[in-house]
Amino acid sequence: MNLLIPMEPTFTAPQIDWVPLVPVIIVLGGAVIGVLIEAFASVKHRRVINIVWSLLVVAAAFVTSVSEWLRASTDPTVVGEYVDDTWTVAMQVIITLIGLLALLVLADRSELRDGAFAAQPSDRPGSGEEALSLAKHYQRSEFFPLVLFSIGGMMLFPATDSLLTMFVALEVMSLPLYILVASARRRRDLSQEAAIKYFILGSFASAFFLMGSALLYGFSGGSLRLGAIAAAVPTVAGMDMILLIGVFMVMVGLLFKVAAFPFHEWTPDVYTGAPTPVTGFMAAGVKVAAFGALVRFYFSVAGHLKWDFALVFAVLAAATVIFGTFGGLVQKNIKRLLAYSSVAHAGFVLIGVLALVQGSAGAVAFYLLTYGIATVGAFGIVGLVRVKSADGAIGGEANQVSQWAGLGKRSPFLAFSMLIFLLSFAGIPLTSGFIGKFVVFSAGIQGGLGWLVGISLAASVVTAAVYFRVVQVMFFREPAEGVAVVRSAGLAEVAIGVTAVLTVLLGIFPAPVLDLLNQITILIP
């Protein structure tokens, strides 16, 4: 009788190069540890511990991302579905830099010892319940790990070669933001309304992205990898409609996140209702991450369909610029004005995305860097201009443009910094915004989009008029009554100062950064 002895199964351990994943692992691992700090640290010290820990985590991720540049430029690789090329590294460096600056604003408190976030969800501003929460150190600090989780999703979003992983990164980036938007200390109803709008509309965008991914999965013969989908475009016949619809639906999800027309209507309401530090973080970080993913998808897949889609997306870019420009023209609320400015800038960046010429990826990266830095600084200033009652009590933010009258006399530092940011948004020479617009518009002209560049130049003149209206109010009017400027505990003012200096330096000495970014390559596995 022969006995069959089963052979031991052979197993080959996977070989994973962990080095390219280190920046993302640092942030996501730091977020998990931040949750543990929130759960186990003493109520008296956990806020300080979480602030210090979050800053150290993002700073470490920034340093490791910078150190990855040489490796990615000489030997770009793919780790599973993670693409380690210079585009990934550039986006992660920008995101971590913006995250570090935004955390300074998020963690700050004013000289009144009040912050942007509610101490407890049920506490009303100025109430005895809030005073007790602050005195007993009941206030929560879980928004720091939430910010880290969101940053981790942002870093992963432009780095993946798979639509499935891209969708997961999209949700990791977005879900913490839905909570953060609803956590404002003042104007609670407005904050929660903004969060609901952002959640519902964001869910629709995610659904479009997921449905488009399913269609592209069917088109490619069972793969969600961008490389496989791109390889199937010239070879698969009879499924053109599935391809076109799938690409368009994925682009809808991405265009929603960058606030492009006609998916931009959520932007003014959400930016207005969210806590101002969160607004700055969203406006800068989400836009960088979403454009990073959009560039990778367009370069890998959608760009192969330029005969079908180029004109459509160019028209959407033109409409984004026009609606953002003229929407901002009639705004009297500074946060809504900056929200429509964000929409217009999304249209400008789309020019570089659509160009697909040598150096256009670097131009897009530089524009995102300059816009993100200036945006964090601008919203940091917004949080320090407050209303004041007749009895001298300091209240919430003074968001009406008219209330900023005489800011140059009240606080020359804040007014001058805001002037720098507005000049950068307008694209005035000697600011980083001018260089950003110049390189993006140059790429657009080289890519045959001269008519779109012409529209954008005209829109830039109009937006400059909008920004100069704010400048005129700040410097050429007497200080408004019922308004006060509060000093920060220090962190926000540091962030404002750093962002203002960087905005000027990148405008005067852009060459070193531009030279590095012009070396960007986008790897298609």
The domains of the chain are located at 19-517
Q: Is the pLDDT of residue 15 over 70?
A: no
- pLDDT value of position 4: 56
Nearest to 89 by CA among 60, 64, 59: 64
Which helix (H) or strand (E) element contains residue 422? helix 412-426
Residue range 87-133, pLDDT digits in tens: 989 999 999 999 999 999 888 876 666 666 666 656 666 666 666 66
* Highest mean pLDDT, choosing among 145-149, 386-390, 404-408, 518-522: 145-149
Q: Which of 107-121, 125-139, 256-270, 510-524 has the lowest mean pLDDT?
A: 125-139
Between 130 and 382, the higher pLDDT residue: 382
Q: Which of 346-350, 352-356, 375-379 has the lowest mean pLDDT?
A: 352-356
Residue range 387-439, pLDDT digits in tens: 877 776 676 777 888 888 888 888 889 999 999 999 999 989 999 999 999 99
CA dihedral (282, 283, 285, 288) in degrees, to 10, reads 140
Residues 6+ apart with CB under 8 A from 53: 30, 33, 34, 37, 144
pTM assigned to the model: 0.91
User: How far apart are alpha carbons 200 and 198 in whole angstroms?
Assistant: 6
Tokens standing for residue 325: 């420009």
User: How far apart are alpha carbons 47 and 140 in whole angstroms?
Assistant: 8
User: How far apart are alpha carbons 250 and 365 in whole angstroms?
Assistant: 21
Residue range 296-333, pLDDT digits in tens: 998 888 877 777 778 888 899 999 999 999 888 888 88
Q: Is the pLDDT of residue 218 over 80?
A: yes
**Residue 262: how many other CB atoms lie within 10 Å:** 12
Phi, psi of 401 (to 5 degrees): -55, -40
Residue range 451-473, pLDDT digits in tens: 999 999 999 989 888 899 999 98
- pLDDT value of position 2: 54
Nearest to 482 by CA among 422, 396, 424, 423: 396
Nearest to 373 by CA among 211, 258, 215, 495: 495
Question: In the predicted model, what is the mean pLDDT of the chain?
Answer: 85
User: How far apart are alpha carbons 521 and 370 in whole angstroms?
Assistant: 20
Can you state the percent helix, strand and coil of the chain, rounding each to 5?
70, 5, 25
